A and B are shown apart, each in its own frame.
Chain A
Amino acid sequence: MNIPANLKYTKSHEWLRLEADGTVTVGITDHAQELLGDLVFVELPEVGKELAAEQEAAVVESVKAASDVYAPIAGTVTAVNASVPEAPETVNQDAYAAWLFRMKPANAADLDALLDAAAYAACAVE
């Protein structure tokens, strides 16, 4: 299973990366894309949208099923990766390169409560 050590994770299979400017980048994990199969449709949030933790933020849809992507922490959407809805298969090809959206955390300390790679690996095999 491909779970980079430098990222944070959620039980609902999102990954997060803290950027130098204090924003966090969010995507779905390699394990999540494998469970979903070939993605064919991605819907991203609007820039400026305020999200509560665990609120539905985006939708990734595969041939098999639609799946919600949740905001891992509370914050405001600052950017979206517009190339992903145009080519959803890029998430299957590299789930950690094909990020979905960036947000400015309402409270940076919220990140500490998320899973590290080892903890996510343990919950992903369940």
Chain B
Amino acid sequence: MTQKTVLNETHRRLGARMVDFGGWDMPLHYGSQIEEHHAVRRDCGMFDVSHMCAVDIAGSHARAFLLRLIANNVDKLQTPGKALYSAMLDETGGVLDDLIVYFIDEGRYRLVINAGTAEKDLAWMAARIAEWRFNVAHIPRRDLAIIAVQGPNAKARVWQALPESRAASEALKPFHAVDAGGCFIATTGYTGEAGFEITLPAGRAEDIWQKLLDAGVRPVGLGARDTLRLEAGMNLYGQDMDETVSPLDAGLAWTIDFSGPRDGIDFVGKTALLARPQERQFLGLRLDEGGVLRAHQKVVTAHGEGEITSGTFSPTLQRSIAFARLPLASAAGDTAEIEIRGRRLTVRVVKPCFVRNGKALI
């Protein structure tokens, strides 16, 4: 059965075109996904991302559990409120999910995991807790909603709509969170722009969404969320990596911390990753003529073949861009060829980060 967020009726009232995403009935766009994309780059927009699942990890062994559960190192989190992006691997080194972990206090961390993988992740965590005999509970917080407000004017609009949140959130550094009167406000996001991700009690979501709307924040659907994250060089689980893909081949090496062992033990998947070095380069592609790069298209390089994992039209760059897994010898600056409808087109290999804070990087 398709699941609905607490804002489902609100989206329909705003005229959203709804689609199934990871088993959730979500807004694809509210009219034009390209205009929504530009709104986030130039002004600000808001996304209902309540389909993503907040999971609290609570108990005296919370840190020890996370040191072992995820591939990045939670010992990097020394001040309450700090956040960390990480992959969660299985024993073969495949990516079970990617997530953000927030350090609330020594006895409590909050993970935000993907919608489509939530049930699998929760079962995995339950099994590891039982296996490792940690004094820790994992608590899915379906009582919470998440609204992301992103763009150069996002923070100002949030403070205008929710003045009481300003004092607590004004001094937040990037990738930090703070509790402001029951709203958990984080300087994280999936667009490459400044802004907040606000986790709040589901019962307050409609009221806060309306206040943001009244402050001039434009609703943005998952369509623009995908073009924004691709321009920003951010991976999408299920497309750019999954259980069959090593994080080292998916551009996630920067999130894997091989130092340690931590607390005398290794994180799940470490042994497998050390035994299987990187095999592919995760790079960007840019097409300078007509056509749109799409996932699963074959890429022919001087060093062998590769494959596009995510491709789209970049509204900011006004051309098609993609992520691809390419042969190890490939590098930014190369050219490669792809085939679209029987025609061979030349693409430029670039670093997989195209736009940040409204500015083109390539």
Question: Are these two chains actual partners, yes or no?
Answer: yes
Are A92 and B290 closer than 8 Å at their CB atoms?
no
A11 close to B (CB within 8 Å): no
Assess the B227–A43 pair: CB atoms within 8 A. Answer: no
Given known pairs A59-B341, A63-B223, A63-B227, the reply for A38 and B32 (CB within 8 Å) is yes
Residues of B within 8 A of A49 (CB): none
A85 partner, pick from B28, B223, B290, B312, beta carbons under 8 A: B290
Q: Is B68 an interface residue (CB 8 A)?
A: no
Beta-carbon contact of B28 and A37 below 8 Å: yes
Answer yes or no: B128 CB below 8 A from chain A CBs. no
Q: In the complex the two chains form, is A92's CB within 8 Å of B32's CB?
A: yes
Please tell me which one of the listed residues A37, A43, A66 contacts residue B223 in the complex, with CB atoms under 8 A apart.
A37
Asked if A43 and B290 sit within 8 Å, CB to CB, the answer is: yes
Out of B33, B290, B294, B341, which one reaches A38, CB within 8 Å? B33
A118 to B341, CA, bound (A): 34
Q: Which A35-75 residues have a C-beta within 8 angstroms of B?
A: 37-38, 40-41, 43, 59, 61, 63-64, 66
Q: In the assembled complex, which residues on chain B have CB atoms less than 8 Å from the CB atom of A64?
A: 223
Partner of A37, one of B33, B291, B294, B315: B33
Which residue in chain B gives the minimum CB-CB distance to A43? B290
The interface size of chain A toward B, counting residues with CB under 8 Å, comes to: 14
B77 contacts A by Cβ under 8 Å: no
B206-260 at interface with A (beta carbon < 8 Å): 223, 227
* Chain B residues with CB under 8 A of A85: 290
Chain A interface main SS type: mixed
Whether, in the assembled complex, B103 has its beta carbon less than 8 Å from a beta carbon of chain A, the answer is no
Q: Say whether A40 contacts B341, CB under 8 Å.
A: no
Does B292 sit within 8 A of A, measured CB to CB? yes
Q: A66 to B292, Cβ gap below 8 A? A: yes
Q: How far is the CA of A85 from the CA of B176 in the complex (A)?
A: 45
> In whole Å, how far is A33's beta carbon from the nearest beta carbon of chain B?
11
Q: Specify the chain B residue showing the minimal Cβ separation from A93.
A: B32
CA distance A61 to B29 in the complex (A): 17
Across the A-B interface, the 9 shortest Cβ-Cβ residue pairs: A40-B313, A38-B34, A61-B292, A63-B313, A41-B290, A38-B33, A38-B32, A41-B292, A63-B33
- Besides A34-B17, A63-B292, 9 other CB < 8 A contacts? A38-B32, A40-B34, A40-B313, A41-B290, A61-B313, A63-B33, A63-B315, A66-B294, A66-B341
Seen from chain B, the residues whose Cβ lies within 8 Å of a Cβ on chain A are: 17, 28-29, 32-34, 223, 227, 290-292, 294, 312-313, 315, 341
Which A residues are within 8 Å of any B CB, using their own CB? 34, 37-38, 40-41, 43, 59, 61, 63-64, 66, 85, 89, 92
**Can you give 13 A-B contacts (C-beta < 8 A)?**
A37-B28, A37-B29, A37-B223, A38-B32, A38-B33, A38-B34, A41-B290, A43-B290, A63-B223, A63-B312, A66-B292, A66-B341, A92-B32
